[in-house]
Every structure is written in structure tokens, then in C-alpha cells.
Amino acid sequence: VNLVNHMMEVDGGYVLDHAKLQKTVRTAMRMLDNVIDINYYAVKKARDSNLRHRPVGLGIMAFQDSLYQLRVPYASDAAVEFADRSMEAVCYYAYMASTELAEERGRYSSYRGSLWDRGILPIDSLKLLAEQRGGYVEVDNSTTLDWDALRARIAQFGMRNSNCVAIAPTATISNIVGV
């Protein structure tokens, strides 16, 4: 997802356009899910694994360009806040899209017993890490989106994809796309 293309001007400044971001992520997740079915797999084990777990890896690029548009220094608390909120949105919309695909196309076949099936979302991993470390994880775990509604939807319909997001190969794609 080219993040800078999802910024909109409001009152002389820029903000993340959540409606546009959600539409893009929904389209990208559908496309990535389709790739699993139409891809050529040279190794049967890889094909079987991908068809069973249906992992995809949606990522972002143009984070720095977005900060530039916001006039926010890269090494600032405001940049960290923007990173937290923009990635929360990308993850939320990706998980929502995967559960929508599960409703339409069915859950991935190894869903039963998975963390998703047990109600444990990736956002919960920080809490698990803190518990393992005796309570110490110095990170902001606040949220701004309706994660309870998403959890309920996942509990009802499941997930189409075992994995939804990944760190994009930003050096490569930035050279191709020019961000």
C-alpha cells in the first residue's frame, strides 16, 4: 500500500484517508488471496502449504513521504504516533477484509485451533509478550479502531488467510514506484 497516496488535505494539513485506505486494502487482500489459487508452484509442498494456510503479506511503502507531507520529523514522537495509527489501520482493514473473504469463500483449511480461532489476534501478542516478561514491555498498546467488533466478526466467520500483513521490501518497491 502506497501510504502517501492515502493522505488527504483537510484544512490546510494532511490526514490519513481511512475510507480510501480501507478500499485499497480490501482490494489488495482479495487480489493477494486470488494469487494463492492462480500462482505457479514449482514445489508441491509449497503449493499444499499455501492452499492450506493461505498466507499473504500486505505491507506499506512511502511512510517517509507521508511524514514529509505531514511536516513531521522522522525521529519524533509524532512520527511514532503516525506509525502506530497508520499501521493499526492497515492491519485492522486487512483482518476485516480477510474475515469478509472467509464469509464469502470459506475459512483457510487449517483455521480450526489457530490463534485466530482461539480469539487471539496479532495485536494481542504484545500482551502475551508482557506476561512472559513479567509485565515489562515498554510500548504504547492503545488503539483507535473498534477491535471488539472485528473480534466478534472473526469469531462468527473466521479468517480466509492465516497471515495478512508483512514488512514490505521497501528498498525494491521504492525504486520501482519512486517513493
CA-based Rg of the chain, rounded to a whole angstrom? 17
User: What b/e sequence results for 61-74 when a residue is b if at least 16 CB atoms lie within 10 Å of its CB, and e otherwise?
Assistant: bbbebbbebbebee
User: What b/e sequence results for 117-127 when a residue is b if at least 16 CB atoms lie within 10 Å of its CB, and e otherwise?
Assistant: eeeebebeeee
Count CB atoms within 10 A of the CB of residue 152: 13
Between CA 29 and CA 165 the distance in angstroms is 10
Q: Which of 149, 39, 59, 155 is nearest to 102 (CA)?
A: 155
Between CA 135 and CA 115 the distance in angstroms is 21
CA separation, residue 136 to residues 81, 121, 124, 141 (Å) = 20, 20, 15, 13
pLDDT at 11: 96
Q: Say whether 9 sits in a helix, a strand or coil.
A: strand
pLDDT at 141: 85
pLDDT at 175: 76
Between CA 40 and CA 37 the distance in angstroms is 9
Going residue by residue through the chain, which has 179 residues, state the pLDDT in tens, using 9 for 90 and above: 999 999 999 999 999 999 999 999 999 999 999 999 999 999 999 999 999 999 999 999 999 999 999 999 999 999 999 999 999 999 999 999 999 999 999 999 999 999 999 999 999 988 888 889 888 788 888 999 999 999 999 999 999 999 999 987 777 777 788 88
pTM beyond 0.75, yes or no: yes
Supply 117's cell numbers: 480461532
Count CB atoms within 10 A of the CB of residue 130: 15
pLDDT at 108: 98
